[in-house]
Structure 1
């Protein structure tokens, strides 16, 4: 264990030494020696400050600890070692030392979901772990804009994971303990499950990497073989699909939180399975629906028809779908551009149970299992001119 002085504990917690002294005086800190503080003590200082910032008076915390109602002892558990303290260098100092531009370093903190730091703010220990990754990329000619996008996507994606993880811990550990009148301090359980969760997360992450890297390998081989005149590469524009459920948001509000969560989970499961089976992937959820990407427009139509049927069979509100194939702009884990906008407008135009597509999707579909009924040119809200639409069906 690494011990530190009062001044060092205060610096690592981001407070003044007088705040540490105050916590000792009120009994929230009980160092073994007057000027010897543990990493758990630093975390207690951070937590006390967070509680005060959240509007919980320190005197109330002290009173609860004295009654035995709450305890901060759980912060000594190994699972809480991921609560990072402040490092000894500022953003400006790290920039000067490594050559990493200051504005790129501050992206690390923003990606975590915190406010933009000033150049003279201290980095956190966990933020320091990201610096060598950025430094390495710059030394090998990676563009700063590409690095920033990746770091922001890391932050946004992991934020969603950790928020769901926190909700899972509340529902499965904290809430049952409180309902039973027990102390929710399950440090032994946390210490056991934290490394298992880390391993599970990394396993899923590496599996996702393998899939994405394989796609890169295939794409690179196709390009190199085509350049060598050995292989003729088939160029096919991707498709964006928007699927909306009629009145889904209103229905979830009427059902209550638990039933709404179950219903949303059913939708996500059916949509996710069907899209993956046809080479697609859900990009993001949007209120009553979802946006999906398909490398092959024809397979996207198959998936859309299947999703409409399966959602109806599950007793869910009817779905209406729009697909368009064309160039897509990709940035920070999301897709943009006219293809995306047009697909969304087509989905808005579609009636319940309909899968409407553009001529571009039909031309890119080479599957006898799909039929199309001509609707003709239509005017769509927010789209200039007319768009020729067709209704997809199973042949």
Structure 2
């Protein structure tokens, strides 16, 4: 293996010469028989991160001496490790790609830390800067990119946190519970960490590509339908308005006090999993999770009502707290992966007045669902005053129609 020159190691790890000298003198890190190697980049970056977290060189040296841990696993920290570059933001600004204030505003939207002008850039930060510049050249505004990056940052953070939690719970904790030392844990789990990262990266890519394809085709079909409709070639279908459903676990706050945060969170996760599966099976989707609830969007009222009733039933079978659901039908305003508008607000208010194991719907939801599905029945509850709505709203409790 070709040796890595010391100066190149300093650049790739983002370390200064004096700091590396100190680490070498304490025997925290040092060149091997053939000098430094690329694996030492990850090792040195990990050591610097530990120091930045407040773990000083004396403690690190003592931990190594007592074999509490080692850094032999450090070459297997990341599936695709990131190194530093010799480029700085000032170089990119001078090249006319993007100004620092705009760049840091966009980074903040993606939940990334700000960059200083003179500091060397990580490889991924350098590519981020250049991709932002490319987007601007293609006509994207800073405000538009902020909206996209805010959603990207939130969604990806949840993905990676979930991957981390899975690794801790399914790989590390069983090893620790079996009596394995932290020293051996870090070494043995390293290979599994890289394998799971590789799988996670690939699955995320496959899901994003699949969902993007669906979104692109859906957008094109919608545009073509609009064009045909404007020329009188396709009639408006008023019976196919989308429906929004809010569902949550009733009494969840009390349940948390009763059984504890972790068990309650597990029940909420099981509820979300059931909602995810059912919404998909009825051609809908979860727009966003709400802790102990979900907001779902369906192509029509019948799908929303059937999915909601199934959600109540299956949650009960899985020993979850009673589910309450509110459904409203009408146009929605899509924005940054979320939906807004009167229909969304109405569904949220309807769900707030629903009782345990109850699915409440509005009048137009009842009319459309009843016409499409013969097995549904609706009990009128009269007009109900809802917060934020001037006029009372007629509500109906949906249920399966019993035979006989």
Regarding TM over 0.5, the answer is yes
**Equivalent residue for 1:367?**
372
Judging changes above 3 Å, is the alpha-carbon distance between structure 1 residues 249 and 42 closer, same or farther for their aligned structure 2 residues? Answer: farther
* 1:275 Cα offset (Å): 1.2
Whether the 8 Å contact between 1:13 and 1:46 is mirrored in structure 2 is yes
1:105 aligns with 2:99: no
**Equivalent residue for 1:218?**
221
Matched ranges for 1:22-101 at <5 A: 22-32=22-32, 37-77=36-76, 80=78, 82-97=80-95, 99-101=97-99
Residue ranges of structure 1 left out of the alignment (5+ in a row): none
Whether the 8 Å contact between 1:308 and 1:320 is mirrored in structure 2 is yes
Whether the 8 Å contact between 2:243 and 2:300 is mirrored in structure 1 is yes
**Equivalent residue for 1:139?**
137
**Equivalent residue for 2:298?**
294
**Equivalent residue for 2:211?**
208
Which one of the candidate residues 386, 392, 395 is aligned to 2:398?
392
Matched ranges for 1:241-280 at <5 A: 241-252=245-256, 254-256=258-260, 259-260=263-264, 262-280=266-284
Whether the 8 Å contact between 1:311 and 1:317 is mirrored in structure 2 is yes
Which one of the candidate residues 121, 124, 129 is aligned to 1:123?
121
Give the Cα–Cα distance (whole angstroms) in 2 for the partners of residues 101 and 230 of structure 1. Answer: 49
* 1:277 Cα offset (Å): 1.7
CA RMSD of aligned residues (A): 3.0
Residue ranges of structure 2 left out of the alignment (5+ in a row): none
Whether the 8 Å contact between 1:89 and 1:123 is mirrored in structure 2 is yes
Judging changes above 3 Å, is the alpha-carbon distance between structure 1 residues 22 and 382 closer, same or farther for their aligned structure 2 residues? Answer: farther
Whether the 8 Å contact between 1:326 and 1:339 is mirrored in structure 2 is yes
Give the Cα–Cα distance (whole angstroms) in 2 for the partners of residues 363 and 119 of structure 1. Answer: 61
Judging changes above 3 Å, is the alpha-carbon distance between structure 1 residues 346 and 138 closer, same or farther for their aligned structure 2 residues? Answer: same
1:5 aligns with 2:6: yes
User: SS of the counterpart of 1:75?
Assistant: helix
Which one of the candidate residues 173, 176, 186 is aligned to 2:174?
176
Give the Cα–Cα distance (whole angstroms) in 1 for the partners of residues 312 and 49 of structure 2. Answer: 47
* 1:242 Cα offset (Å): 0.9
Give the Cα–Cα distance (whole angstroms) in 1 for the partners of residues 57 and 22 of structure 2. Answer: 10
TM superposition score normalised by structure 1? 0.86
Whether the 8 Å contact between 1:113 and 1:155 is mirrored in structure 2 is yes
Give the Cα–Cα distance (whole angstroms) in 2 for the partners of residues 325 and 17 of structure 1. Answer: 65
User: SS of the counterpart of 2:211?
Assistant: helix
Give the Cα–Cα distance (whole angstroms) in 2 for the partners of residues 145 and 2 of structure 1. Answer: 46
Whether the 8 Å contact between 2:82 and 2:122 is mirrored in structure 1 is yes
Deviates more, 1:187-196 or 1:351-360: 187-196
TM superposition score normalised by structure 2? 0.84
Give the Cα–Cα distance (whole angstroms) in 2 for the partners of residues 132 and 2 of structure 1. Answer: 31
Which one of the candidate residues 354, 368, 382 is aligned to 1:376?
382
Whether the 8 Å contact between 2:111 and 2:150 is mirrored in structure 1 is no
* 1:243 Cα offset (Å): 0.7
Give the Cα–Cα distance (whole angstroms) in 1 for the partners of residues 150 and 253 of structure 2. Answer: 29
Whether the 8 Å contact between 1:112 and 1:159 is mirrored in structure 2 is no
Judging changes above 3 Å, is the alpha-carbon distance between structure 1 residues 338 and 121 closer, same or farther for their aligned structure 2 residues? Answer: farther
User: SS of the counterpart of 1:164?
Assistant: helix
1:17 aligns with 2:22: no
Give the Cα–Cα distance (whole angstroms) in 1 for the partners of residues 38 and 105 of structure 2. Answer: 27
Whether the 8 Å contact between 1:108 and 1:127 is mirrored in structure 2 is no
Whether the 8 Å contact between 1:111 and 1:156 is mirrored in structure 2 is no
Q: Deviations over 1:226-285 (max 9, x none)?
A: 345433343554332111211234435544566445533431232112211222111222
Q: Deviations over 1:292-341 (max 9, x none)?
A: 12232332122112211222233321111112234434333323344333
Deviates more, 1:247-256 or 1:337-346: 247-256
Judging changes above 3 Å, is the alpha-carbon distance between structure 1 residues 19 and 337 closer, same or farther for their aligned structure 2 residues? Answer: farther
